């Protein structure tokens, strides 16, 4: 690829941080704890940071914050996010994203809106038999 894409949502980072500082750390009372095969985007973090599933299962991310998040495989700065193994849309509060994992392995991911704070999260997929 010769064109470096800078997703427009990176422009939201500063504004998001300002809003997040005041509001996001206290949720709206929903939530509780994430269930099996579930990750919450919560208080500008992934909860849990590391999740283990079996091959053939899916992970569902749910945004519990008022600020938008993504779940994007790879690391911040990866040049071609379009080649990411998974890449959610920009999830607003209550938004969910589900991705099936058919092959064993470890899949690191991050949030494109908060690459400094929400990164190095991991889905560990254990092989069946
Ligand atoms: Cu985020």
One pLDDT digit (tens) per residue for the chain, 129 residues:
445 555 565 454 444 444 444 444 444 445 589 999 999 999 999 999 999 999 999 999 999 999 999 999 999 999 888 889 999 999 999 999 999 999 999 999 999 999 999 999 999 999 965
CB-based burial, 43-58: b 16+ in 10 Å, e otherwise: ebbbbeeebebeeebe
Q: Is 46 helix (H, G, I), strand (E, B) or coil?
A: strand
Beta-bridge mates of residue 109: 73, 121
Q: What's the CA-to-centroid distance between 57 and ligand 1, angstroms?
A: 24
Q: Which fold has domain 36-126?
A: Immunoglobulin-like (2.60.40)
Q: Output the pLDDT for position 82.
A: 86
Q: What's the CA-to-centroid distance between 91 and ligand 1, angstroms?
A: 9
Q: What's the CA-to-centroid distance between 128 and ligand 1, angstroms?
A: 32
Q: What's the CA-to-centroid distance between 123 and ligand 1, angstroms?
A: 17
């Amino acid at each position: 690829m010769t064109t470096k894409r800078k997703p427009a949502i990176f422009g939201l980072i500063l504004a998001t941080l300002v809003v997040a500082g005041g509001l996001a750390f206290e949720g709206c009372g929903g939530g509780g704890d994430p269930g099996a095969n579930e990750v919450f985007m919560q208080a500008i973090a992934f909860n849990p940071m590391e999740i283990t599933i079996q091959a053939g299962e899916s992970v569902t991310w749910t945004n519990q914050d008022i600020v938008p998040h993504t779940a994007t495989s790879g690391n911040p700065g990866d040049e071609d996010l379009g080649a990411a193994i998974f890449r959610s849309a920009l999830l607003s509060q209550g938004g969910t994203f589900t991705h099936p994992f058919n092959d064993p392995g470890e899949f690191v991911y991050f949030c494109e809106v908060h690459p400094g704070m929400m990164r190095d999260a991991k889905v560990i997929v254990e092989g069946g038999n």
